[in-house]
Structure formats: C-alpha cells, structure tokens
Amino acid sequence: MRAAIVTGAAGGIGLALCEGFRAAGYRVIGVDIGAGSPGVLALDLERLCNDEGYRRDALQRLLAELNNDELHVLINNAAVQILGGTGELTVAAWQRTLNVNLLAPFLLAQALLERLEVARGSIVNIASIHASLTKPGFVAYATSKAALLGLTRSMAVDIGSRVRVNAICPAAIATPMLLEGFKDNEAALDVLAGMHPAGRIGHPEEVASAAVFLASRQAEFINGSVLGIDGGIGSRLHDPV
C-alpha cells in the first residue's frame, strides 16, 4: 500500500494534509509531539535533533510503523513560530526554531531516503510566505523558512531523479490557531483577508490539495519547485496610499 508520512499532523494544516492524502488512497502515518492517537506517532522533533539515542529509537519506531508499505511521500509540515526581534531573540529560541523547522526535515529525509527511492516518491516541505516576505518580529521563523527553500532546491539537485523534492509557501491560512488570534478582532481579520488579491485567506484543504498534487504522478516533472498558496499577496505592493 502507498504510505505518506505527515509531520505536525495535529495542527490545522496537518489535519487537512492527513485527510487529503487518505482521500487520495494513501495510508497516512501522522507524526506530532503530542500524545499519540490512532494513526499518529508521538515524536519530539527538537529532541530528534539533539539526542542521538532518541533519534535512533524514534526513527526505528517510525520505520516499524511504516512496516512493509511503500513510502511514497514525506510531508515536512511541523514547525514552531517563536516571535522576537533582532535585539531580543535568545540563542535557545533561535536554535529550537532551526532544529524543528530545518534540521528535523533534513534528518527525516535522510533517514527515509532509501524507502522513498524504492517507490520513486517525493518530499514536500511546507514552508511559508515568510521565506520571502516577512514582517517585524519574525526573524528566526522567516530565516528558518527561507533556509527550508534552500534545502528544497539543493536536495532536488543532489538527489536528482530518485526522489522529487518540492515546497509549498502558504500565506494566511484559516487554521484554528490563526482564527483564535483574531477572535476578539474580526475587523482585523477582514483587513487581512482584503490584503490578499483573492479577497480572502486560504483554507487548510487548499494546502493539502496542492501537496497531494505535488506528490502525484501528474507532477513528475516538478522538482525543486516552490508553489505559493498565497491568494496573490506575494505579488502585491502595499503602499501607504
């Protein structure tokens, strides 16, 4: 059976990714830091980066969960977003961000590469519009997502035809976390929606649909690419008038 591994499976986009790949006929193995539920493997990605013994055990558990299914897709979706300006970011916050958002996707890709090669599968990295367009206070997050795009392109070149590697850069997506942040200020949410030429923010299912397409045979010539799911905001100039 075709299998897909999705990190950050308990988040808004992660849940949509899991549902999208299941609907497309994949067996989905979700990975998240929280307590495991059916189909979700509890795994701490920061500890995966820092603790060699834990990394070895965690990867063994992941491969055991995969069993003999063909691994067609690795979706690196898990991320942390620690806000802080240039003058206030701590080394710990900086390192945690780079570990979870950048090093963990590489380590998972490295560990699963042989299984992906057998299926001539693909890796889809969920980056962010912050990789190219950001705002104050997002120094660590924006840096990690920009580096994730660099990892995407360099791995696509390095691996070549054996496993395709692409990335998705969402803009504002209507996840429970985002909506919770605007629950007391719906007017601000409307302003944010209006900044997108599409006239709205995105839906998690739209990110999932893009990932399913990038992993499909219809996308076999797409490699090392970055797909913006941003409602056109990445093309818009915001002048003060």
Q: Is 26 a catalytic residue?
A: no
Eight-state DSSP code of residue 230? S
- Distances in whole angstroms, Cα of residue 207 to Cα of each of 20, 33, 55, 94, 125: 9, 21, 29, 27, 11
Residues 6+ apart with CB under 8 A from 186: none
E-only strand ranges, the chain: 2-7, 27-32, 40-42, 70-76, 122-126, 164-170, 226-229
Residue 226 near residue 167 (C-beta atoms within 8 A) = yes
Of the candidates 77, 115, 141, 202, the residue annotated as catalytic is: 141
CA 192 to CA 186: how far, in whole Å?
10
Collapsing DSSP to helix, strand or coil, 24 comes out as coil
What burial letters (b/e) apply to 86-108, b meaning 16+ CB within 10 Å? eeebeeebbebbbbbbbbbbbbb
155-185 as b/e: b if 16+ CB within 10 A: bbeebeeebbbbbbbbbbbbbeebeeebeee
Calpha distance 196→174 (Å, rounded)? 13
Q: Which residues are catalytic?
A: 141
